[in-house]
Amino acid sequence: MVIVGPCSIHDTVAALEYASLLAEAAERHRDELFIVMRVYVEKPRSTVGWKGLLHHPDHAQDLGNTQYDTLPDLNRGVSVSRQIMLDVASKGLPVATELLNPLLVHYFEDIVSVGVIGARTTESQTHREMASCMPMPVGIKNGTDGGLKVAIDAMTASSRPHTVVGVDDDASLAYHISPGNPSTFMILRGGSKGPNYSAEHIQETQAALTKAGMKPNVVVDCSHGNSNKDYRNQTKVAACLAEQIAVGASITGVMIESNINEGKSVLILFRASQLTFSLC
C-alpha cells in the first residue's frame, strides 16, 4: 500500500490535477501497488497557524498574504472538503485523511478508506475512542519522540469497545457504544530521537506488536522524522524500504508526501474576538 499525496489540500484545482496523474500511475502499477491518495483537510498545529481547508476553504487559495483577520467558514469548509474527497474517489482512488476533530469526522467517514491518527493525538483518549468506532482501517503514528509504546497502547485501546460521546440530531448530548476497530496499524514516522525505518526498527516494531496481541502491520512514513523534514530524503527512505521488501521483509506500506510543485505554503494566522457560529 502506498499512501501518497499533498501534506494538506490547499488548492482544490491543483489537488484534482494531482489526482488525475496519480490515478494514471495507480492503473499502471495496479498489479504491484495499492495506491491511496492523501486528502488531508485538517492540520494539527503545534501553536497557531492555518488549520486546513476544512476551516479556511477560501483563504487557502491566496498564498500571497501571510496573515488573515477574517473568520473561518466551517459550513463551506465541510462542503468543499467533502466534495474534493468525492472527486478524488470518483477517479478510482481510495482516500486517506487524518482524523482530527471527533465531531467533524462524521461528515467524511463514508468516503474515507484509510484514517490516520497523528503523532500529536495518538495519546488522546478521545481520538482512541473515535478510532474504535470508525468504519475503515486506522493507522496510528508513533509518538513525537519516536517511541512505540504510546502507539501500541492506542492500537490496543482502539480495538476495544468504548462509550463515545457526541451530539444527536436534536443537538443534545448523546452516546453510543463503539464496536472496537480490529483494523488498526502502526505508522513509523521517526521522532526527536531520529529515523525509525531501518530493518532493525521494523523487526523491533513487529515484535512489539505481536507481543501486545496486535497484528504486526507496519506502514512507514517516509516524511517527518524519517526524512529529517527534508522532502528530498523521502526517496532514500523508500529505496531502503524497497530493499527490505525485496529480501522478504513484511512491510504493509509506505506514506509519501508529494505535490505538483515543491516547497511549502506560508503560515496563515487567524485572529478574532469571541464569536459563536452554528454548523449546519
List the chain residues with pLDDT less than 50.
60-66, 68, 267-280
**Using an 8 Å Cβ cutoff, are 137 and 182 in contact?**
no
Q: Distances from the Cα of 219 to the Cαs of 37, 139, 141, in angstroms?
A: 15, 8, 9
pTM: predicted TM-score of the whole model, two decimal places: 0.89
Q: Distances from the Cα of 56 to the Cαs of 70, 206, 271, in angstroms?
A: 9, 39, 13
Ramachandran area for residue 51 (φ above 0: left; ψ -120 to 50: alpha; else beta): alpha
CA nearest neighbour of 10 among 271, 189, 268: 268
Ordered by start, the domain boundaries in the chain are: 2-270
What pLDDT, in 10s, does the model give residues 197-237?
A: 999 999 999 999 999 999 999 999 999 999 998 999 999 99
Which phi and psi (to 5°) does residue 32 adopt?
Answer: -120, -30
Residue type, 200: E
- DSSP lists the bridge partners of residue 269 as 67
Domain 2-270: homologous superfamily in CATH = Aldolase class I (3.20.20.70)
Q: Where do runs of H (alpha helix) occur along 8-110? A: 12-28, 74-90
CA nearest neighbour of 56 among 274, 273, 272: 272
In this prediction, residue 265 carries a pLDDT of: 58
The count of other CB atoms within 10 Å of the CB of residue 109 is 15
What pLDDT, in 10s, does the model give residues 10-44?
A: 899 999 999 999 999 999 999 999 999 999 999 88
